[in-house]
Structure formats: C-alpha cells, structure tokens
C-alpha cells in the first residue's frame, strides 16, 4: 500500500495556515538569537533513522502477545510498512534486517522495492540467541562464548552468513548482540566465557568487508539473570579494541541499569572514536522497549546534546547507525514508531539549539546556574513547528499521526492482509 500524495496534501491543507503561523513565530524567535534556521532544517532532513524489520508487528512478553490486525506477513510487506512511515515522516529512510527472521528470497526484487520507497538497508543483525529449526547445535548455554568449539563455530558461521546477506543488499555494518551469560553462580567460568567471545568475534571480524563496521551491543541482564558476557560498554569497547579499527560499541538506551549516566557513556565513546551505532527506546525499569521519549524525554535530550557535540567535534568517530529498537505491546506499531521518530527528532533539534559557545564560557566561568539555564533554554523551546516544516518541505505530513489516522492506513492494511497475519520477530 502507498499513500496517495493528493490525499496527503488535502490532510495537510486543513492545518497548513495554523502551521505557517506557528512556524514563522518560532523561526523568527530563533533567528533573533542567531540560530541558522535553514541549517537546522537541513540537519533534520538528513537525520534518518532505521526501522527494525522485527518491530512492525505486535510485540509481546513471556506472559502473552496481543495481536494487531493487518500485520505484515512477509519481508515485502514489512518494507511496505517502513515505506509508509517514511512517506509520512520523511525520517525513516532505512530498514535494519534481523537474520534469519528476514532473509530475502529474491534479492534484486527486494532491493528494487526498497529503492522505490527511498529506503536503504542499514545494519544487519545476527541472531544466536534462539535455536533455529534443524540446527545442529543449541545456543541454550551460549553461542560465541560457549564451552563447545562446535557451538562457537556454528555461531561464527551464522555471523559470516549474515554479512554475506547484508553485502548483497548494500548494508555496511553487522550488529552483534549476544544473550550469552549464566543464570546461576558457578554455572560458567567468567574468564573462559569472555576469552571465547573475544576469539570468536575476532574470527568474524577477519572476514568483515573493508568498508564495513562491526557493532558490538551490550546489555546487563536478560535472558540471563546472573551474568551476561558483554554486560556493559566497557566490555564492549574492550572487545572492539581487541578486534580492530572497524569494530565499535553500539549503545541501546534500554541496556543500562537504573540511573546510569548514558550521556557520559556516549561522550566517552565519541571521544575515543568508538561509538558505532545507537538503538533508541525508552524505559522505566530495564529493557522495557517503550516508545522513545515517552518516559524520560529530558534524559534523551541530554544524550543528544552529547551526540551533537561529538558529531561536531569528534571527526575521528564514524557516522552512526541510528535505529529504533522498541517493542509495541499495546499500540499500533506504525503509530508507535512514528511517535518515536518524532521524539528523536525533537531531542535532536533541541540539542542543535544549545548555545555551545555560551555553554563553554559558563563552564570555564564555573557558573553552574548559567550552564543549566543554557540547557533548559534549548530544551524548553517548542520545536515541533520546525519538525513539521522539514517534513512538509520533503513531501511528508505536517502531523504524521493525524494523517495516518485520517487516511485510515491501518484499516487499509487490514483490508489487504486480513486480521490474523503475524509478523516474524520477538
């Protein structure tokens, strides 16, 4: 399904005047204090976030899953869904595939479909946290860290296969997240597990194409509850350094223990040129995978403040692979993703508005109050009209959720796909 541009223009038309007034007001206010508004709009337009192929259907917990009608039943339909989100938001110009959930049957057709929808293939993700039907070895007790050489070899080979799949699609990075760890004290030898993981990652790294990155994700707990081999950013960075220049740390916002200062982690990794990717979501307790910005929007802004500073000052750090990694248990996944994209863009623009020069001076003057005032000045600016302006100039919706509902997208998808389809993923 594709949204008819004329219908979208009609929906936009109803609120166009109201938008223009709001936009002129904010743009004038910002210009008065020296903000280069066209530059901010350019930054917004080029900031594209990948949508994961596994987040287009209903998520769930171990207690159950409540289906959402009209879910995509194939990779083609998932790409269509990302195309819809991108058409409305002009912000989701990429899709990230999880293998083996989403192996293409016909690579040329998939590439063509994505290109028509202006989508790129972002990082490919390997999966050694689930056993696949007919697999020879089991990952019950770990994959790259396993005490069995046979299991490790199977997991290494899977990652190499994922690189090959990504290569055929034009992806440029492999994301490795390991569930490896232990549930009980004494179950595993920490040193053996870490050493095995390092050796296995090095074997994968050896086969990485020259223009690829390997992104190593960390997470403190779940599904293992006593120890996780790659539990934190320090372990990930250590492994990335052991592998080489093309290996980086990937930060997933939900993969931290409560109250961790994520913005400081981001800043350290950027300084060392080792921040490779980012998974957005929000949480109250752990890896809750909630809509970005729904619980802690100020923390998201502070993280973006470090990201913007790093993107401007740490030229040794590569361009980042941005992705949403959320789960949609009670909301329509497409609406949820649109809300996340809006929250990401909002935090990004607010961070762009931070007066870095004034902040530096206030820091040198040790004027703590002024430092906070400068951050709050940016954070409290209502930037939504800027987001809407960037979208409308690129052919998107002034208000994406509103347009999605007015254009009856979910109902159209149900008509096409039926009520009982189930998307692959977690």
Interface with ligand PSV by CB under 6 A: which residues? 125, 177, 217, 219, 252, 279, 287, 325, 426
Query: Which tokens belong to 22?
Result: 């709001």
Compute the distance between CA of residue 46 and CA of residue 65 in angstroms, rounded to an integer. Answer: 36
Burial of 238 (0-12, 13-18, 19+ CB in 10 A): middle
Distance in Å, CB of 287 to Mn ion, minimum = 8
Residue 331 vs 361, nearer CB to ligand PSV: 331
Residue 125 vs 305, nearer CB to ligand PSV: 125
Distance in Å, CB of 52 to ligand PSV, minimum = 7
Which residue's entry shows tokens 């982690």? 265
Residue 232 vs 325, nearer CB to Mn ion: 325
Distance in Å, CB of 49 to ligand PSV, minimum = 15
Please choose which of ligand PSV, Mn ion, none residue 219 contacts, taking the beta carbon within 5 to 8 angstroms, the exact cut-off set by kind.
ligand PSV
Please choose which of ligand PSV, Mn ion, none residue 263 contacts, taking the beta carbon within 5 to 8 angstroms, the exact cut-off set by kind.
none
Please choose which of ligand PSV, Mn ion, none residue 426 contacts, taking the beta carbon within 5 to 8 angstroms, the exact cut-off set by kind.
ligand PSV
Of 142-150, 151-159, 271-279, 412-420, the segment contacting Mn ion by CB under 5 A is 271-279
- The count of chain residues that interact with Mn ion, using the rule CB under 5 A, is 3
Give the containing element (helix H, strand E) for 50: strand 50-52
Give the containing element (helix H, strand E) for 125: strand 124-125
Residue 223 vs 418, nearer CB to ligand PSV: 223
**252 in Cβ contact with 219 (< 8 Å):** yes
Residue 80 vs 325, nearer CB to ligand PSV: 325
Of 17-25, 90-98, 203-211, 245-253, the segment contacting Mn ion by CB under 5 A is 245-253
3-state secondary structure of 51: strand
Residue 80 vs 325, nearer CB to Mn ion: 325
Q: Does 252 bind Mn ion (CB under 5 A)?
A: yes
Compute the distance between CA of residue 404 and CA of residue 420 in angstroms, rounded to an integer. Answer: 21
Residue 43 vs 426, nearer CB to ligand PSV: 426
Residue 80 vs 217, nearer CB to ligand PSV: 217
Compute the distance between CA of residue 127 and CA of residue 421 in angstroms, rounded to an integer. Answer: 23
Please choose which of Mn ion, ligand PSV, none residue 342 contacts, taking the beta carbon within 5 to 8 angstroms, the exact cut-off set by kind.
none
Distance in Å, CB of 326 to ligand PSV, minimum = 9
**188 in Cβ contact with 180 (< 8 Å):** no
Distance in Å, CB of 392 to ligand PSV, minimum = 33
The verdict on whether omega for the bond into residue 223 sits within 30 degrees of 0, i.e. cis, is yes
DSSP string, 206-267: HTS-TT-EEEEE--SSSS-SSEETT-SHHHHHHHHHHH-TTEEEEEETTSS-TT--HHHHHH
Residue 121 vs 177, nearer CB to ligand PSV: 177
Mark residue 363 as left, alpha or beta (left: phi above 0; alpha: psi -120 to 50; beta: remaining). Answer: alpha
Distance in Å, CB of 256 to ligand PSV, minimum = 12
Please choose which of Mn ion, ligand PSV, none residue 86 contacts, taking the beta carbon within 5 to 8 angstroms, the exact cut-off set by kind.
none
Distance in Å, CB of 183 to ligand PSV, minimum = 16
**159 in Cβ contact with 207 (< 8 Å):** no
Please choose which of ligand PSV, Mn ion, none residue 287 contacts, taking the beta carbon within 5 to 8 angstroms, the exact cut-off set by kind.
ligand PSV
Q: Within 13 Å and on the Cβ side, how many CA atoms surround 305?
A: 23
Please choose which of Mn ion, ligand PSV, none residue 125 contacts, taking the beta carbon within 5 to 8 angstroms, the exact cut-off set by kind.
ligand PSV
Q: Does 325 bind Mn ion (CB under 5 A)?
A: yes
- Angle of helix 297-313 relative to helix 262-271, nearest 10 degrees, comes to 10
Mark residue 290 as left, alpha or beta (left: phi above 0; alpha: psi -120 to 50; beta: remaining). Answer: beta
Residue 255 vs 350, nearer CB to Mn ion: 255
Distance in Å, CB of 263 to ligand PSV, minimum = 19
Distance in Å, CB of 325 to Mn ion, minimum = 4
Distance in Å, CB of 177 to ligand PSV, minimum = 4
The verdict on whether omega for the bond into residue 164 sits within 30 degrees of 0, i.e. cis, is no
Cβ density class 291-321: b for 16+ within 10 Å, e for less: bbbbebbebbbbbbbbbbbbbeebeebbebb
Of 274, 279, 328, 391, the residue at the interface with Mn ion (CB under 5 A) is 279
- Which residue sits closest to ligand PSV, CB atoms considered? 177
Residue numbers of the site for Mn ion (CB under 5 A)?
252, 279, 325
């Amino acid at each position: 399904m594709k949204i008819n541009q004329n219908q979208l223009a009609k929906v936009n038309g109803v609120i166009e005047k109201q938008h223009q007034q709001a936009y002129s007001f904010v743009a004038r206010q910002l210009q008065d204090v020296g903000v280069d508004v066209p530059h901010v709009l350019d930054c917004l337009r080029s900031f594209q976030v990948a949508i994961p192929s596994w987040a287009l259907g209903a998520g769930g917990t171990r207690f159950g899953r409540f289906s959402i009608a009209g879910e995509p039943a194939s990779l083609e339909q998932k790409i269509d869904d990302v195309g819809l989100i991108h058409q409305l938001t002009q912000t989701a110009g990429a899709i990230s595939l999880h293998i083996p959930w989403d192996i293409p049957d016909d690579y040329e057709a998939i590439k063509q479909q994505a290109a028509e929808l202006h989508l790129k293939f972002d990082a490919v993700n390997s999966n050694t946290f689930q056993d696949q039907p007919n697999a020879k070895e089991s990952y019950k007790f770990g994959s790259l860290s396993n005490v069995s050489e046979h299991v490790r070899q199977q997991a290494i080979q899977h990652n190499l296969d994922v690189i090959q799949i990504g290569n055929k699609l034009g992806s440029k990075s492999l994301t490795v997240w390991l569930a490896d760890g232990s549930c009980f004290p004494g179950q595993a030898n920490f040193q053996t597990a870490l050493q095995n993981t390092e050796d296995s990652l090095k074997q994968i790294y050896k086969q990485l194409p020259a223009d690829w990155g390997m992104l190593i994700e960390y997470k403190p707990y779940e599904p293992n509850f006593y120890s996780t081999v790659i539990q934190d950013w320090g372990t990930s960075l250590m492994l990335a350094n052991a592998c080489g220049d093309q290996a980086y740390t990937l930060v997933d916002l939900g993969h931290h223990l409560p109250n961790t200062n994520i913005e400081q982690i981001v800043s350290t990794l950027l300084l060392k040129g080792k921040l490779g990717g980012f998974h957005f979501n929000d949480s109250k307790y752990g890896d809750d995978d909630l809509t970005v910005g729904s619980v802690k929007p100020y923390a998201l802004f502070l993280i973006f403040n470090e990201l913007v500073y790093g993107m401007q000052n740490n030229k040794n750090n590569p361009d980042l692979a941005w992705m949403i990694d959320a789960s949609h248990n009670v909301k329509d996944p497409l609406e949820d993703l649109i809300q996340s994209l809006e929250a990401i863009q909002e935090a990004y623009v607010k961070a762009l508005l931070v007066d870095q020069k004034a902040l530096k001076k206030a820091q040198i003057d040790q004027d703590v109050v002024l430092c906070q005032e400068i951050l709050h000045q940016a954070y409290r600016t209502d930037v939504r009209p800027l987001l809407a302006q960037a979208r409308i100039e690129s052919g998107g919706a002034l208000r994406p959720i509103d347009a999605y509902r007015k254009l009856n997208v979910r109902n159209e998808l149900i008509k096409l796909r039926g009520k009982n389809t189930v998307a692959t993923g977690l």
